Each structure stands twice: as structure tokens, then as C-alpha cells.
């Protein structure tokens, strides 16, 4: 009898493990073939042409959960910059990239899945701990300086683009959340989802041609400043069509991409995507290129806050 119960329990465990990982996408290494594919799929030209070339810092260091797509995003962004011929892409991994003098060199900063460790979720503090012998008190003080440097950079006109997990960078800072449009709460398991446009006529989502984006991803849910809705939403998912929710969301419409102003600067956030397979979609690549043009000020679009509902 005990043997039978053990077999049943083992089968149930196997079933639930299989169900929870069934739609996880396999990691793969960057290869010359993959690079060639992205070069082929990348937009032939930007939405806004005949603009001056802009310098963009792509910060790609994670101190907590390391998304396997970080290096893939680096190569993808290099390709977008080179093929469009309007961006010089510079890759950064060191905390000194957020010094005032260094930030002045760039027209925009892209935070590429720069996840910090939990529960503190303070990227600048983590970076200082890894690369200095400062006391905890001094680290806290200096981390606040770097955070303020980035916020002032955007407020004075710099662009900021956040990819997927980068929304967690300063997750417990309410002021940072107000700048980015929200903080990370949680995500259910990876699953296929249909991401839809909020306004099919908005220039930032024209790449999807009114059809949205269907792919396998982590459905992100947000907290803190997110519920101020102080942004112009671009893409959303419907919570009642998702599996594995931990709690009933406040709203069935869950926004997963938006743009917003912060002072004189512009912010673009895209929760898609956790997986490099999503980069196989040329419409998604165009969406990201348009986001880059928006944050540097070349692509003009309605970024007024939505009406709070």
C-alpha cells in the first residue's frame, strides 16, 4: 500500500513540475548563425530618418537573478544601432557608469535586465559591495548618490529604457518607481500569452500592425507607483487569461509596456521579453528600435498620462 502511495505521489510531483516548466524556453548560446538571423530580421531603417547619431549606454550587469538573455540583448542592440546607423552603442558593467561625468556622455541609458539581489533590491549598493571595500554605511551613502545621479540625468533630459527585469533595479525606492512608472511585484510561470496594443494607432506600437504579439514570456505584475498610472500605456495582457496567479489583480487589464515623461526626460519600459526567442520577431525588434528613438527624443509620440481608472 505504501509503495502504491509513493508511486502516486511521485507521479503527481512529476506532473506539477512538468506543468510548471512546460512552456519555459530553452537557453541557447550566441552563435554566428543567430547573429546573422537577427541582422536579417532587424529593421532596414528607423521610423525617423535623417537624425544625428546618438550615443547610448547599455548597462548589462546583474547582481541578482541573471537573465540568460542579457548577452543576446547586447548583440541585438548593437545590431539595431549599426543597421539603423543612428545609434552608437556602448556596453557598461561597472557602477562608475553612473557617475555624473560619465552619464553626460550619453543621450540615453538602457538598463538591460540589471536585476539586483533581493530582498534589498538596490543595484547600486550591490555593485559597490562587489567592487569596493567600503563600510556598509558608506556603501548606502554612495549608492544613494548613484541612484540620484541617474534620476537627475533623466530629469534634465536624458533618455531611459528598461528591458524586462530592469524594472527591479531600485525596486524598493518609491522615487525611482515614480520615475520608471512602477516596481516589480511578481510573475506567474512562463506561458504563451497574447500581448495587445492599448491604442493600435499609437506610433510606438505601429510595428505590430494591430495584431499584438503572441509569445512565451513571464507575465509581470507591478506595484508601488504603477497604480498611479502616471504613464502612457502601450501594451497589455488580460489577467483572466493567465495561469498561476498568486492573487486576484486589482484590474484585469495589466499593462506590460509604457512610455512616460520624467522632468525633461523620456522613459520607455518593455516587460517583453524574458526569452531571446522573442527577438526572432521582426515586429518586436522594430518596437524596440522605436522605443530607442522615443527616449532620445527623435520619435515624437503622445506620452501624456492615461486617465486613472
pLDDT value, residue 308 = 59
Cβ atoms < 10 Å from Cβ of 190: 19
Domain layout of the chain by residue ranges: 47-181+257-295
Q: How far apart are CA 217 and CA 156, in angstroms?
A: 34
pLDDT band, residue 250 (cuts 50/70/90) = confident
Cα torsion 93, 94, 97, 98: sign: positive
Contacts of 29 (CB under 8 A, 6+ apart): none
DSSP type of residue 98 = G
Cβ atoms < 10 Å from Cβ of 171: 24
In CATH terms, the fold of domain 47-181+257-295 is Rossmann fold (3.40.50)
**Which H or E run includes 34?**
helix 32-41
Give the model confidence (pLDDT) of 44-73 as tens digits: 999 999 999 999 999 999 998 899 999 999
Give the model confidence (pLDDT) of 179-206 as tens digits: 999 999 999 999 999 999 999 999 999 9
Range with the lowest mean pLDDT among 15-19, 166-170, 281-285? 15-19
- pTM beyond cutoff 0.85: yes
Amino acid at each position: 500500500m505504501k509503495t502504491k502511495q509513493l508511486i502516486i505521489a511521485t507521479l503527481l510531483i512529476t506532473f506539477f513540475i512538468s506543468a510548471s516548466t512546460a512552456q519555459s524556453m530553452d537557453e541557447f548560446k550566441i552563435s554566428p548563425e543567430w547573429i546573422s538571423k537577427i541582422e536579417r530580421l532587424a529593421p532596414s531603417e528607423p521610423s525617423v530618418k535623417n537624425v544625428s547619431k546618438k550615443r547610448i549606454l547599455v548597462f548589462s550587469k546583474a547582481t541578482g537573478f541573471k537573465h540568460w538573455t542579457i548577452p543576446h540583448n547586447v548583440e541585438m542592440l548593437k545590431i539595431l544601432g549599426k543597421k539603423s546607423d543612428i545609434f552608437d552603442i556602448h556596453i557598461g558593467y561597472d557602477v562608475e557608469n553612473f557617475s555624473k561625468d560619465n552619464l553626460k556622455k550619453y543621450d540615453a541609458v538602457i538598463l538591460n535586465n540589471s536585476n539586483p539581489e533581493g530582498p534589498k533590491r538596490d543595484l547600486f549598493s550591490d555593485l559597490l559591495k562587489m567592487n569596493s571595500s567600503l563600510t556598509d554605511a558608506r556603501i548606502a551613502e554612495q549608492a544613494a548618490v548613484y541612484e540620484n545621479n541617474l534620476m537627475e540625468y533623466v530629469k534634465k533630459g536624458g533618455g531611459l529604457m528598461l528591458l524586462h527585469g530592469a524594472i527591479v533595479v531600485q525596486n524598493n525606492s518609491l522615487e525611482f518607481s515614480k520615475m520608471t512608472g512602477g516596481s516589480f511585484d511578481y510573475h506567474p510561470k512562463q506561458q504563451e500569452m497574447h500581448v495587445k496594443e492599448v491604442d493600435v494607432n499609437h506610433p510606438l506600437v505601429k510595428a505590430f500592425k494591430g495584431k499584438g504579439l503572441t509569445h512565451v514570456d513571464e507575465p509581470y505584475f507591478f506595484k508601488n507607483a504603477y497604480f498611479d498610472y502616471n504613464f502612457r500605456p502601450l501594451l497589455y495582457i488580460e489577467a483572466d487569461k493567465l495561469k498561476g496567479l498568486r492573487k486576484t489583480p486589482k484590474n484585469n487589464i495589466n499593462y506590460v509596456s509604457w512610455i512616460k515623461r520624467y522632468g525633461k526626460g523620456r522613459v520607455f519600459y518593455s516587460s517583453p521579453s524574458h526569452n531571446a526567442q522573442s527577438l526572432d520577431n521582426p515586429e518586436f525588434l522594430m518596437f524596440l528600435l522605436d522605443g530607442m528613438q522615443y527616449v532620445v527624443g527623435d520619435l515624437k509620440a503622445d506620452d501624456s498620462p492615461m486617465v486613472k481608472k
